[in-house]
Amino acid sequence: MIHLYVRRNKMKKLETIFILALFALTANLTAVQPLKVPSWTEPQGIEVIVEGLPGKGSEEWNLSKSAIQSKVEQTLMRFSLEPSNSEHFDKGYLYVNVNLVGPSYAVSIEYKRRFWLKEQVTNVTATVWDKGSLGIDPNYSRHTVLNKLVEFTEQFSTEYIKQNRR
């Protein structure tokens, strides 16, 4: 009984540390102003890369990388944006990161583009749009996380289409 009590306290401390770290991270993310995507770029296929999801946390939430990938790609297709694995990172990619610890979650989506600078021989990858959120769901409802992903993907799609009009 004492062993179980000590283990619960350790988990609560880890959850608290995780949440505080996520608050600090999102404070930095929201301070970044999105850059305008060059207007000469026409809409193209967008590669979606999903990272995060530790094994233990995702089991409680009943989430998988494929479920997240599918949900984000379905949302892109509703906006007539083609999710594509054949497009190279040269044009841009949507980076999705989901982290789960106990009942807390952190979701972030970034659109990254590669830019070539005349002063440098190599190219530079820059985040030109990002959105993130964190929260706690004591019910471990996967729909909480998926709804956030849909919301952020819809916002991204709207902005992407505005910036890439012909």
What digits encode the pLDDT tens for the residues 102-159? 899 999 999 998 877 777 777 778 899 999 999 999 999 999 999 999 999 999 999 9
164 vs 132, more confident: 132
Task: Quote the CA–CA distance of 147 and 68 in Å, as a whole number.
Answer: 10
**Least confident span in 14-28, 67-81, 121-135, 139-153:** 14-28
Range of the domain at 93: 2-163
Q: Is residue 37 pLDDT above 50, yes or no? A: no
How many structural domains are present in the chain? 1
Task: Quote the CA–CA distance of 115 and 106 in Å, as a whole number.
Answer: 28
Instruction: Specify whether the CB–CB gap between 110 and 125 falls below 8 A.
Output: no
Task: Quote the CA–CA distance of 122 and 84 in Å, as a whole number.
Answer: 25
Q: Is the pTM of this model over 0.75?
A: no
DSSP 79: T
Kind of pairing between the strands at 104-116 and 93-101: antiparallel
Structure-token pair, residue 91: 């044009």
pLDDT of residue 44: 61
Alpha helix stretches (DSSP H) within 65-165: 65-78, 142-163
**Average pLDDT of the chain, as a whole number:** 77
Q: DSSP for 4-15?
A: HHHHHHHHHHHH
